[in-house]
Structure 1
Amino acid sequence: MNVLGTAIGLLIALGVMVFILLFGQSPQLRNGIIGKLHTFLTIHGPNTLFSTLKKVLGTKNWKRLAGCWQYCFNSRNPFLQLFFLFITGGSIVLFLKYALPHIPGIYLHSIHLYIIPTQIISLYVAYYIACSSNPGIITEENVQQFLDHYQYDGILYEPKECSTCQFQKPARSKHCSMCKACVGQLDHHCFWINQCVGVNNYRYFFLFLFTLVQFCAYGAYLCIQIYNAFIIEWGLDRAYMRDKATGNTVPLPYYKAMLHILQKDRIIGSIAILASVASFVVFLFCLYQLYLAGRGVTTNEAFKWELVEDSIDRGELWVEVDADADNGNNNSTKTTNRSKKGNNQKKPNTPSKRKIESLDEVENIYDRGFFYNLYDVFSPPQLLVNRSDNHHNINKKKNKNA
């Protein structure tokens, strides 16, 4: 029980730290204790550590350590991919060695002997596709297609040039310092797949998440059913215990039977716990991603909308509106600097500024309805991405131009 309690405590601590790192900069939390902890973990803590190490190690050794830090945390590397393969591969090997001999069993049919290899193959195929597919890298050759497809809303996105790629940034795109490229409709950079999640591989990212959730849930189900069979085989369903409160003899509770088996056979139980936790966490993350996608918002844009809402609350958001359009009874504010091709759109004759009082007054032009938004994610525009493009070619081209 002490080991289990320690493991649960570590998982809770890890979850709290991840929450602080992910949401510590949000307008609602950045001025409170969460924001202060985020600042400590990302700025003050590392700076203090680096300053101390620099004094202790010396300049030469410090530069070597800084180079390793740069490669590990500020550039694309396969560490988390290898860690994922190690965790899943190790769990599969342990399952095949210790759990598979109990299949078929009292509660498990022999058909699972055919489902298990299918599940394993499906997981790694989905992972390979997610890791190798082009996220939607924008190049000089296809940037105009992105500019034509994505309209500037004048709130989150306005025409401006990417200082690194040196071309006009299309709306909904973002330059990724890890991938060293602009990515269309960028959602976030995922370290688990070692690349960005964007317009072209969002569907494959969801495929990987779906596959991982059901893979872990299926593994947990098999382990629990094996434990249920142990209850019958070991006679624990007929066991009794003395109730300390009443002194009466009562049937052994189910959870105590499970804990007894866990003490005797920790491998299968550990796999079940790991698979259950992983399935639950990834399932929640998958639901969150579906929720954002259905709203027509990326993870990157969700944070931008929080900043917009914060600006509205402080009375700092003003937009230009066309005087002719403003005379009508429109429910939503229309900005004048929305365009499909940057600055080519003519300015209104009589522009005026209007203060935004509520987020309801701001229209998300990328939200076209829940189901259409999901359709757009799982069936993105095919002409936007040249499938021959990859990170190697992009970086090679940039180095050549330099």
Structure 2
Amino acid sequence: MAVQWVLVCHGLVTLLVVVSFLCGQWPIFQGTPIQRIHSFLTFGAYDYFLRFVGIVFGAKGTNAILSVEYFCCDRPNPILQVLYLAILGGTYFLIAKSSFSYIPGYYLSGIHRYTSLLAVGVGILLFLLTSFSDPGTVKAENVSHYLSAYRYDNIIYSEKECSTCKIPKPARSKHCSVCDRCVARFDHHCGWMNNCIGERNTRYFMAFLLWHFLICAYGTVALVLVLVGRAKELRVTYILTVYYGVESSFFDLAPHVVRWLLSSYNTQILLMVFLAIVSLLLLGFFGYHAKLCLTNTTTNETFKWQEYMNWQEKLNEARASAAALKASLNGMSSERKKPPESKWKALFRKSPLQDADLVVKKNMYDKGFIQNLSEIIFPLSTRPSFSQNKSKPH
């Protein structure tokens, strides 16, 4: 019984840590213990560790840790790529070792031994495509074509030069400090891929997220069917009701069946919980990026729009302050005669969320659901019209 409680606690702690680490910065968790755990995992723990190294080993130890940090976080490296392959390969190995002996089973046919391997193979293929494909590197040779492909909106993008590459900076592009290159329609730098996600490989990245969600969901359902099939084959409910006198209702049988599963198939249950958690996280991540793709927005641009909104808010505050100062200089007599603002009027005043919607509506790159999706699947730089532009003099 103690072992079962240890497994349950282990699963709950794992779920808390994974959700806190990956989702703790979401607005929904603001001010909650999950946000505090996220802050500790991402900043606090490392800061304490760095201080400890400084106390024990001095400046040389701190500099050594900072050098490792620079290599791992600020330069291209394959660490997370290797970790991804280890997680994928290790999980598949554990599933094969613990559960393939029950396939074929009561609910699963033997073909799932091979479809699971095929699913993992396709996942690795999408991983390689995303990792090693060109994200849309902007160079002196092709910068003029990207300048014609993406127009400046003069709101969050205006004509300027990249201070590092010394070439004109096309709209929607960004210089990646990790890869040290400008990338067209830059979304973000993905450490798991050791590559930028940009105009040319967003389609592979989206396919990678969707496929890995499906793999994890498939693995979760398959393990559930394995366990249910084992209970059916061993006639667990029959034994509990006939030989142990347990009432044949769900609420009476469920605790006994769960206890039997935890004692006999704890590895499968841990794998099932792990895959279920990862599948939900991948679904959320895919949904977020799908929304960006369907509105023709990038992760980088969401921050730019936020900066623009903050700037507008400060500008409006400055104008309001100037107006208040002018009113005070002209005298407050007219202000005193004004009736107090109606509570109903204050209630229905435009909210900050409506302001945000108005700003986002200024996105000139949003061309509608179909065309936005088309730009992801068939990037502008791969289209015949783009190739024809290359031959035109500029």
TM range (shorter): 0.7 to 0.9
Q: SS in structure 2 opposite 1:253?
A: helix
Q: Counterpart in 2 of 1:310?
A: 310
Alignment pair present for 1:375 and 2:379? no
CA distance in 2, matches of 1:311, 1:60: 42
Alignment pair present for 1:163 and 2:132? no
Change (3 A) 1:271 1:144: same
CA distance in 2, matches of 1:172, 1:68: 32
> Could you tell me how far 1:256 is from its partner in structure 2?
4.6
Q: Counterpart in 2 of 1:13?
A: 17
Contact 1:312 1:358 in 2 (8 A): no
Alignment pair present for 1:146 and 2:146? yes
Q: SS in structure 1 opposite 2:182?
A: strand
CA distance in 2, matches of 1:92, 1:248: 37
CA shift digits 1:176-213 (9 cap, x unpaired):
11111111111111111111110000001111112211
Q: SS in structure 2 opposite 1:175?
A: strand
Contact 1:153 1:365 in 2 (8 A): yes
Change (3 A) 1:44 1:229: closer
Alignment pair present for 1:67 and 2:67? yes
CA distance in 2, matches of 1:154, 1:34: 39
Q: Counterpart in 1 of 2:270?
A: 270
Q: Counterpart in 2 of 1:186?
A: 186
Contact 2:11 2:270 in 1 (8 A): no
Larger displacement relative to structure 2 (13-22 or 31-40): 31-40
TM-score normalised by the chain length of structure 2: 0.76
Q: Counterpart in 2 of 1:363?
A: 362
Q: Counterpart in 2 of 1:388?
A: none
CA shift digits 1:99-138 (9 cap, x unpaired):
1121111101233233222212211111111111111111
Q: Counterpart in 2 of 1:176?
A: 176
> Could you tell me how far 1:157 is from its partner in structure 2?
1.0
Change (3 A) 1:195 1:23: farther
CA distance in 2, matches of 1:32, 1:215: 32
Contact 1:151 1:171 in 2 (8 A): yes
Letter in 1 for 2:19: G
Q: Counterpart in 1 of 2:6?
A: 2
Letter in 2 for 1:291: K
Which segments of 5 or more consecutive residues in structure 2 lack a partner in the other structure?
A: 319-353, 384-394
Letter in 2 for 1:145: H
Which segments of 5 or more consecutive residues in structure 1 lack a partner in the other structure?
A: 242-246, 319-356, 385-402
CA distance in 1, matches of 2:157, 2:253: 59
Letter in 1 for 2:111: I
Alignment of 1:52-201 (within 5 A): 53-201=53-201
Letter in 2 for 1:298: T
Letter in 2 for 1:377: I
> Could you tell me how far 1:237 is from its partner in structure 2?
2.4
Q: SS in structure 1 opposite 2:380?
A: coil
Larger displacement relative to structure 2 (136-145 or 7-16): 7-16
CA distance in 2, matches of 1:261, 1:248: 17
Q: SS in structure 2 opposite 1:165?
A: coil
CA distance in 1, matches of 2:58, 2:184: 43
Identical residues among aligned pairs (%): 29
Query: Larger helix proportion, structure 1 or 2?
Result: 2
> Could you tell me how far 1:150 is from its partner in structure 2?
0.9
Number of corresponding residues? 338
CA distance in 2, matches of 1:214, 1:127: 14
> Could you tell me how far 1:6 is from its partner in structure 2?
3.3
